Copies of this chain bind each other. A is one copy, B any other.
Protein backbone atom coordinates (compact mmCIF):
# COMPACT_ATOMS: atom_id res chain seq x y z
CA UNK A 1 0.00 0.00 0.00
CA UNK A 2 1.13 3.49 -0.83
CA UNK A 3 0.76 6.33 1.63
CA UNK A 4 1.33 9.99 0.89
CA UNK A 5 3.24 12.13 3.35
CA UNK A 6 3.99 15.81 3.39
CA UNK A 7 7.59 16.33 2.30
CA UNK A 8 9.38 17.17 5.56
CA UNK A 9 12.01 19.29 3.88
CA UNK A 10 9.58 21.64 2.12
CA UNK A 11 8.30 23.00 5.40
CA UNK A 12 8.28 26.37 7.08
CA UNK A 13 9.72 24.94 10.26
CA UNK A 14 12.77 23.79 8.34
CA UNK A 15 13.01 27.13 6.54
CA UNK A 16 12.61 29.03 9.81
CA UNK A 17 15.33 26.96 11.41
CA UNK A 18 17.64 27.61 8.48
CA UNK A 19 17.49 31.28 9.50
CA UNK A 20 17.27 31.17 13.30
CA UNK A 21 18.28 27.57 14.01
CA UNK A 22 22.01 28.15 14.07
CA UNK A 23 23.71 28.23 17.43
CA UNK A 24 23.31 31.66 19.11
CA UNK A 25 20.80 33.08 16.62
CA UNK A 26 17.75 32.89 18.86
CA UNK A 27 19.75 34.12 21.85
CA UNK A 28 20.84 37.14 19.83
CA UNK A 29 17.20 37.83 18.97
CA UNK A 30 16.26 37.40 22.62
CA UNK A 31 18.85 39.96 23.73
CA UNK A 32 17.68 42.31 21.01
CA UNK A 33 14.09 41.96 22.25
CA UNK A 34 15.48 42.84 25.67
CA UNK A 35 17.11 46.00 24.38
CA UNK A 36 20.59 45.06 23.19
CA UNK A 37 21.62 47.06 20.15
CA UNK A 38 25.38 47.23 19.89
CA UNK A 39 28.02 44.69 18.95
CA UNK A 40 29.65 44.94 22.34
CA UNK A 41 26.36 44.53 24.18
CA UNK A 42 25.60 41.27 22.43
CA UNK A 43 29.16 40.14 22.95
CA UNK A 44 29.33 40.81 26.67
CA UNK A 45 25.81 39.64 27.46
CA UNK A 46 26.13 36.34 25.64
CA UNK A 47 29.84 35.61 25.75
CA UNK A 48 29.71 34.58 22.11
CA UNK A 49 32.95 34.67 20.10
CA UNK A 50 33.35 38.00 18.31
CA UNK A 51 33.77 36.58 14.82
CA UNK A 52 30.75 34.33 15.21
CA UNK A 53 28.72 37.27 16.47
CA UNK A 54 29.76 39.23 13.40
CA UNK A 55 28.70 36.49 11.01
CA UNK A 56 25.47 35.80 12.91
CA UNK A 57 24.49 39.46 12.83
CA UNK A 58 25.25 39.55 9.13
CA UNK A 59 23.12 36.45 8.55
CA UNK A 60 20.25 37.91 10.55
CA UNK A 61 20.51 41.20 8.66
CA UNK A 62 20.47 39.54 5.24
CA UNK A 63 17.58 37.34 6.36
CA UNK A 64 15.61 40.47 7.29
CA UNK A 65 15.43 39.71 11.00
CA UNK A 66 17.65 42.63 11.99
CA UNK A 67 18.66 45.94 10.52
CA UNK A 68 22.09 47.62 10.69
CA UNK A 69 21.61 51.23 11.69
CA UNK A 70 24.25 53.95 12.04
CA UNK A 71 24.43 55.82 15.32
CA UNK A 72 26.73 58.45 16.68
CA UNK A 73 27.25 59.33 20.31
CA UNK A 74 28.21 62.97 20.99
CA UNK A 75 31.98 63.35 20.80
CA UNK A 76 32.44 60.01 19.15
CA UNK A 77 32.61 58.80 15.59
CA UNK A 78 29.78 57.05 13.78
CA UNK A 79 29.25 53.40 14.58
CA UNK A 80 26.65 50.78 13.74
CA UNK A 81 23.99 49.19 15.89
CA UNK A 82 21.60 46.35 15.21
CA UNK A 83 17.88 46.43 15.78
CA UNK A 84 15.08 44.00 15.12
CA UNK A 85 12.81 44.47 12.16
CA UNK A 86 9.12 43.65 12.45
CA UNK A 87 10.07 40.19 11.17
CA UNK A 88 12.50 39.85 14.04
CA UNK A 89 10.05 41.04 16.68
CA UNK A 90 7.63 38.45 15.35
CA UNK A 91 9.88 35.81 16.88
CA UNK A 92 8.63 36.79 20.32
CA UNK A 93 6.02 33.99 20.51
CA UNK A 94 8.65 31.42 19.59
CA UNK A 95 10.90 32.67 22.37
CA UNK A 96 8.07 32.79 24.88
CA UNK A 97 7.17 29.22 23.96
CA UNK A 98 10.76 28.08 24.47
CA UNK A 99 10.98 29.99 27.74
CA UNK A 100 7.81 28.39 29.01
CA UNK A 101 9.01 24.94 28.02
CA UNK A 102 12.35 25.50 29.72
CA UNK A 103 10.63 26.82 32.85
CA UNK A 104 8.36 23.81 33.02
CA UNK A 105 10.87 21.05 32.42
CA UNK A 106 14.36 22.41 33.05
CA UNK A 107 13.61 24.88 35.80
CA UNK A 108 16.11 26.42 38.11
CA UNK A 109 15.31 25.17 41.65
CA UNK A 110 14.72 28.81 42.64
CA UNK A 111 12.00 29.18 40.02
CA UNK A 112 12.06 30.94 36.68
CA UNK A 113 14.65 33.66 36.24
CA UNK A 114 12.51 35.56 33.78
CA UNK A 115 8.80 36.26 33.73
CA UNK A 116 7.24 37.74 30.62
CA UNK A 117 4.60 40.28 31.57
CA UNK A 118 1.85 42.16 29.80
CA UNK A 119 3.46 45.58 29.85
CA UNK A 120 3.04 47.64 26.68
CA UNK A 121 5.58 50.22 25.69
CA UNK A 122 3.13 53.00 26.50
CA UNK A 123 2.89 51.93 30.10
CA UNK A 124 -0.51 53.58 30.52
CA UNK A 125 -2.71 50.50 30.75
CA UNK A 126 -0.05 48.50 32.55
CA UNK A 127 -1.60 45.17 33.39
CA UNK A 128 1.64 43.44 34.30
CA UNK A 129 0.19 39.94 34.51
CA UNK A 130 2.40 37.02 33.37
CA UNK A 131 2.05 36.07 29.74
CA UNK A 132 1.66 32.57 28.36
CA UNK A 133 1.53 31.21 24.86
CA UNK A 134 -1.64 29.32 23.95
CA UNK A 135 -2.86 27.45 20.89
CA UNK A 136 -6.15 28.75 19.53
CA UNK A 137 -8.13 27.71 16.47
CA UNK A 138 -9.98 29.98 14.06
CA UNK A 139 -13.30 28.86 15.53
CA UNK A 140 -12.24 30.36 18.85
CA UNK A 141 -11.40 27.19 20.74
CA UNK A 142 -8.53 28.22 22.94
CA UNK A 143 -5.94 26.56 25.20
CA UNK A 144 -5.71 23.54 22.93
CA UNK A 145 -3.55 20.72 24.25
CA UNK A 146 -0.69 19.45 22.05
CA UNK A 147 -2.80 16.34 21.34
CA UNK A 148 -5.74 18.39 20.07
CA UNK A 149 -3.97 19.52 16.92
CA UNK A 150 -2.53 17.81 13.88
CA UNK A 151 -0.61 18.72 10.76
CA UNK A 152 -2.47 18.70 7.43
CA UNK A 153 -1.24 19.49 3.91
CA UNK A 154 -1.57 23.13 2.83
CA UNK A 155 -1.67 24.65 -0.66
CA UNK A 156 2.13 24.53 -1.07
CA UNK A 157 2.51 20.92 0.03
CA UNK A 158 4.81 18.55 -1.82
CA UNK A 159 4.43 14.87 -1.22
CA UNK A 160 6.72 11.91 -0.89
CA UNK A 161 5.80 8.39 -1.81
CA UNK A 162 6.45 5.62 0.65
CA UNK A 163 5.54 1.96 0.40
Contact = CB atoms under 8 A, between A and B. Distances in A.
A50 interface: no
Contacts of A129: 137-139, 141
A34 B103 CA distance: 25
Interface in A4-20: 5-17, 19
Interface string A132-156: 1111111101101011111111111
A104 interface: yes
A95 B95 CA distance: 11
A139 to B, nearest CB: 4
A155 B16 contact: no
B147 A136 contact: no
Contacts of A99: 11-13, 16
Contacts of A92: 135, 146, 149
